[in-house]
Structure 1
Amino acid sequence: MICGAAMDFANRLRPSHLALLMRIAETGQLQRAAQMAAMSQPAASRVLAEIEARAGGALFERHPKGMRPTALGALCIRHAKVILEEYGALEEEARRVTSGETGRVRVGAVTGPAVGLVMPAVRQVRAEAPDIEMTIGVGTSNELVRGLVDGHYDFIIARLPPNHDSRDFRLHPARNETVSLLVRPQHPLAGRREVTLAELLEHEWVVQELPSPIRQAVEAAFHSQTLDTPPRVTNSSSLLVVLALLESTDTIAPQTREVAQMLAHGALGAKLVELHLAEPIMVSPCFIIQNRFRPLHSAAERLLRAVFDHL
């Protein structure tokens, strides 16, 4: 019975009741505590009487110099302080979650947009909301769309494969991608202007395997000029393999413009240059893709807005 009565007492207490107890303990005066709790003194007296009735005894002793907690009152006040602090923490954390100041975001992208769009957006959000936990995946469009459907990503930047129904997604055009051809500074064509595709055929290449969009774009560029594709090709999507070949040979490596500019500026210790082509090589465009049936939470919305800022 005692346990049941205690549970009933606890369940009937409201945060406003606990706040009143704290104010009485702080001020020692019921009238002042009522003012601080934004209630009339009669209402405060009635609430205190109800609490004491449920607690089974007086919570304060009346003295000429004010009200002092009894042993039962000190117990209630101690727990009230903890409970109100937890309420405050809950309110603050809920505010931060709903405003997108905290939370977890998982975004996926193909390599170029990962460098050119996602990373600048992540840096922007980090400056505004450093407590957001970011997970960034890089992969092929097929892998990324499959991850989006399975719930592994909040949104992705990729190409929508033909085996997926566009009606299942929200799509927004992202940047068009341009292919840059990276070589070491000692390459015979480095520094030349208006390099033609025909001049590139005699050199070795390291290219992603089909059906990668970059490989398709490079081969389409050669075909559009009725040229054969480069005959000496190493197939690899590994950036480490690419860098190793570029460091010691006159290999040509097609990369998206964003990745090429990053490497040309010394990222990963690379010392590389871009060839100046007479005609640009364009890759099929990417899209910012969301699952139409899964709304974004606030932190993901914040990152998505930052991505749009960098389009």
Structure 2
Amino acid sequence: MSAPLIQRLRPPQLKLIRAIHDVGKLQLAAEAVGMSQPAASRMLAEIETHVGAPLFERLPRGMVSTEIGAAFVRHARVILTEIDALAAEVGKLHGGKAGVVRVGTVTGPAVSALVPALTAIRAEVPDIQPTIEVAPSVTLIRGLDEGRFDFVLARLVGDNQVRSFEAHPGRTEVISFLVRASHPLAGKTVSLAETQPYDFVIQEAGSPIRNALENAFLSSHLHTPDKVTNSSSLLVALSLITGSNAIAPLTREVAQMLARTGMDLDVITTTESIVVSPFLVLQSRHHALSPMAQRLRDEVLRRL
């Protein structure tokens, strides 16, 4: 078969060849693919001319594939199946019923908004392919700038330039303290002063939770905790608090969720309110969201 034929083959031709093979009669095959018998006859003759050999034997009982014709039919089935699959996938993507979504989030909104939104979407759209990265805001915003995320749930910190983003308001979050269940303060409501003797495991200096905690201590005329392990890793925090009397400040939703997991953890609330600056739902001004990403973002916003 010559290269020009390969380049000129079209789905209607492949459908006709498949139909002739399946029904064995040109007239029935023409009707199956929605064309007249003379047009089908001309199309088949054109293909056979370029191939240089017949694709079907004309027998009294009907048309039977030659060896070359059978090869055409085998490949036609694969090609047409892939074309149908492509059309279906494109239709789903256009309709927001499938697709890859890449989202970055800080921990609190992941628990309170993103995961519930994703669960709701997946119940309707099982073909969604999400990637979720949990990281500090500065990492997420850098990733958004670099095009690694469709949108992020983060806070503007440091030199972040809001003009490069389209921002949707999130909400403020309240901090609770997570400790092991056998901690002397577990399950209690205490003053910040009562927590000072204990070790803390906190996100690095400059992070929103760290700033909120330090501001709460200073507003209460207390010095900030002396014994601090700096880490943004939730795994590190859990390892430290389960093995000692260390305290991990987390957003209330995250602390309460972890306390319900059966890991022998409990929550300390404080008489002083510790509030983190509001997070935002951020996306680039320069890149439109795919229908699936927009659908997930809208579901997140609905839950804020």
TM-score by length of 1: 0.84
2:150 pairs, out of 148, 154, 158, with: 154
User: Which residue of 2 is the match for residue 236 of structure 1?
Assistant: 230
Does the CA contact (< 8 Å) of 1:209 and 1:215 recur in 2? yes
Q: 1:249 to 1:85 in 2, by over 3 A?
A: closer
Does the CA contact (< 8 Å) of 1:174 and 1:285 recur in 2? yes
SS in 1 for 2:38: helix
Does the CA contact (< 8 Å) of 2:218 and 2:224 recur in 1? no
Within a 5 Å distance, the mapping from 1:44-193 to structure 2 comes to 44-193=40-189
Within a 5 Å distance, the mapping from 1:220-299 to structure 2 comes to 220-225=215-220, 227-237=221-231, 238-247=233-242, 249-266=244-261, 269=263, 271-299=264-292
Shift of 1:8: 2.0
Does the CA contact (< 8 Å) of 2:21 and 2:63 recur in 1? yes
Shift of 1:297: 2.7
1:217 and 2:212 matched: yes
Distance, in Å, in 2 between the alignment partners of 1:263 and 1:199 is 23
Does the CA contact (< 8 Å) of 1:117 and 1:307 recur in 2? yes
Q: Structure 2: which amino acid aligns with 1:276?
A: T
1:308 pairs, out of 298, 301, 304, with: 301
Q: 1:71 to 1:204 in 2, by over 3 A?
A: closer
Task: Render the CA deviation track for 1:31-65: whole Å, top value 9, x for unaligned.
Answer: 21111111122322232233333333443333332
SS in 2 for 1:209: coil
SS in 2 for 1:152: coil
SS in 1 for 2:270: coil
Shift of 1:211: 0.8
Q: Structure 1: which amino acid aligns with 2:283?
A: Q
Does the CA contact (< 8 Å) of 1:148 and 1:291 recur in 2? yes
User: Which residue of 1 is the match for residue 28 of structure 2?
Assistant: 32
Shift of 1:137: 1.8
Distance, in Å, in 1 between the alignment partners of 2:8 and 2:181 is 77
Shift of 1:72: 4.2
Q: Which runs of 5+ in 2 are unaligned?
A: none
Task: Render the CA deviation track for 1:259-303: whole Å, top value 9, x for unaligned.
Answer: 211221136x2x232223334211000011111112223443343
Within a 5 Å distance, the mapping from 1:187-202 to structure 2 comes to 187-193=183-189, 195-202=190-197
Distance, in Å, in 1 between the alignment partners of 2:74 and 2:182 is 75
Shift of 1:234: 1.4
Shift of 1:206: 3.4
Q: 1:255 to 1:38 in 2, by over 3 A?
A: same
Q: 1:56 to 1:252 in 2, by over 3 A?
A: closer
Q: Structure 2: which amino acid aligns with 1:8?
A: P
Distance, in Å, in 2 between the alignment partners of 1:217 and 1:176 is 11
Which one is further off, 51-60 or 152-161? 51-60
Q: Structure 2: which amino acid aligns with 1:87?
A: I
Distance, in Å, in 1 between the alignment partners of 2:298 and 2:217 is 38
SS in 1 for 2:160: coil
Which one is further off, 119-128 or 210-219? 119-128
Which one is further off, 134-143 or 287-296? 134-143
Q: 1:257 to 1:56 in 2, by over 3 A?
A: same
- Report % sequence identity: 48
Distance, in Å, in 2 between the alignment partners of 1:142 and 1:45 is 66
